Chains A and B, each alone.
Chain A
Amino acid sequence: MFKVKVLVKRRPSILDPQGMAVEKGAKHLGFNNIKDTRIGKYVEFTVDAGEKKSAEKEVKEYCDKLLINPNLEDYEFTLEEIA
């Protein structure tokens, strides 16, 4: 069994209106050093697989098929074996 943590990021070429709006809030609060805000997603789950390799393959397929939209997002993930 593996614990999986997936980080979904908006592609650099895609405008992030949400990040821009949040950064406006930062400016209002006086955080003038905050720049380049980009908002992504974090997804965690477990995979019931014996081997790390097969778990990785399944996670990759799952990400490509459902969790991310390649037109819009990039992702990276980590696997950690749990009891």
Chain B
Amino acid sequence: MKPKFGVVVFPGSNCDHDAYYALKKVIGVDVNFLWHKDTDLKNSDIIILPGGFSYGDYLRTGAIARFSPIMNSVINFSQKGGKIIGICNGFQILLEAKLLPGVLLKNKSLQFVCKDVYLSIENNDSFFTKGLDKNKFYKIPVAHGEGNYFADEVTLKSLVENDQIVFKYSSSDGKIDEESNPNGSLMNIAGIINKEGNVLGLMPHPERSCNPVLGKNDGNLILTAIVNNFMN
């Protein structure tokens, strides 16, 4: 059976409709919006915390959204093994909620970065990445001011040991170096999962690259892999 998605809408979310459109109209699965003041996840199988500037990024990115009523349900859902994807601001919220380890600092350049990057698949054995090709470099846009992933040494070591780093920024031919790093992230980290493997956070926006008419389709491959993995 195809999974049912729930896309959370916080005040200041602005990629909620992109995620809805990509999943419903392009990939063809059921999607519901979930209002931040509600607690009902509407029987969703996979929850998406979308990009944007929830609560104006006040205090710290994601810090206030993390205490929205819906987040209690999302945290409970994750503890029962429910699948959760945080994209961009959604990733920042997952870190504030401690569903993922580490923090996202201001970009090293201090500039908002809005461009296409390439992602190298570091682990294609997770629920979110099974079926993706380690020899292909996925062209996905980023758009953020605070995507510079940082964690202390102990955390970083455990991320590596448990294969939790799933996406890294690379060049179009797979070089993982400073030049291909858009924001200064440690080890070029673009996306991580939790130890249990049911929570994913990533800075790039797969939902914005799901339609060949718009010139790119690699995000579609990532979201479709997730749908397929749910069905298998």
Contact = CB atoms under 8 A, between A and B. Distances in A.
Interface stretch (B31-39, B102-110, B121-129): B102-110
A18 B111 CA distance: 11
Interface residues of B, number: 19
SS of A interface (majority): loop
Contact of A17 (B64, B103, B108, B152): B108
A46 B152 CA distance: 34
A69 B63 contact: yes
Contacts of B60: 69, 72
A18 B103 CA distance: 16
A15 B183 CA distance: 13
A13 to B, nearest CB: 7
B218 interface: no
Contacts of A18: 106, 110
Interface string B2-41: 0000000000000000000000000000000000000000
Contact of A14 (B64, B96, B110, B150): B150
A72 B103 contact: yes
B59 interface: yes
A44 B152 CA distance: 30
A63 to B, nearest CB: 12
Interface string A56-71: 0000000000110101
Interface string A1-41: 00000000000011101100100000000000000000000
Interface of A: 13-15, 17-18, 21, 66-67, 69, 71-72
